[in-house]
A = this chain, B = another copy of it.
Amino acid sequence: MIVVLRLGHRIKRDKRISTHVALVARAFCANEIVFSGDEDRELICSVKKIVSEWGDEFKINYEKNWRNFLKRKKEEGFEIIHLTMYGLPITKLIEKIRISNKDKIIVVGGAKVPGEVYEIADFNVSITNQPHSEVAALAVFLHEFFQGKELEKKFDGKVRIIPQEKGKKIVRN
């Protein structure tokens, strides 16, 4: 069970980035996205719509109080993985994270991530120590975690793409 927690969503600035975070979580085989920060019904609706079209189980939720959420999940036995450019390199941690059988919360910021997140996390993982993107960090983390197997997943959507050398082929069931 893999849950992605997106911290500090801001309706005005983050709508598209947060949507990308959610869609990456889904496409790379996480089970759920939880948004924190501003409550944004439009964002939740638009992700739900994509899930209903493109298929498969994927939960979308909002948690006002991410502190309590993380504490609760930790008590339930979840391992907390925080993706941050300040953390230890993924190459050093991924094997350990992969081997552990625990359910996982993957935390991605957010403008300013509070210090507590670094403390409560079991692993602070960097995908390069350069500034780039929480969207990219999440994708590469999940890709490494699943060792590329996530790319083979079949989704049972109403809409499907038949991969083409040139052009587009979409099938609707």
Kindly identify which residue among B90, B124, B163, B168 contacts A151, using a CB–CB cutoff of 8 Å.
Answer: B90
Kindly identify which residue among B14, B28, B132 contacts A23, using a CB–CB cutoff of 8 Å.
Answer: B132
Size category of the binding interface on chain A:
35 or more
Shortest distance between the CB of A30 and any CB in chain B (Å): 12
The B-contacting residues of A in range 159-173, CB under 8 angstroms, are 160-161, 163-170
The B-contacting residues of A in range 113-142, CB under 8 angstroms, are 115, 118-119, 121, 124, 126-133, 135-140
A91 within 8 A of B: yes
A86 within 8 A of B: yes
Kindly identify which residue among B16, B23, B143 contacts A143, using a CB–CB cutoff of 8 Å.
Answer: B143
A13 within 8 A of B: yes
Shortest distance between the CB of A100 and any CB in chain B (Å): 16
Please state if B127 and A166 are interface contacts (CB–CB under 8 Å). no
Q: In the assembled complex, which residues on chain B have CB atoms less than 8 Å from the CB atom of A143?
A: 140, 143
A110 within 8 A of B: no
Kindly identify which residue among B24, B91, B126 contacts A132, using a CB–CB cutoff of 8 Å.
Answer: B24
Q: Whole-angstrom distance between the alpha carbons of A132 and B152 in the complex?
A: 15
Return the 3 tightest CB-CB contacts between A and B, nearest first.
A136-B139, A20-B133, A129-B161
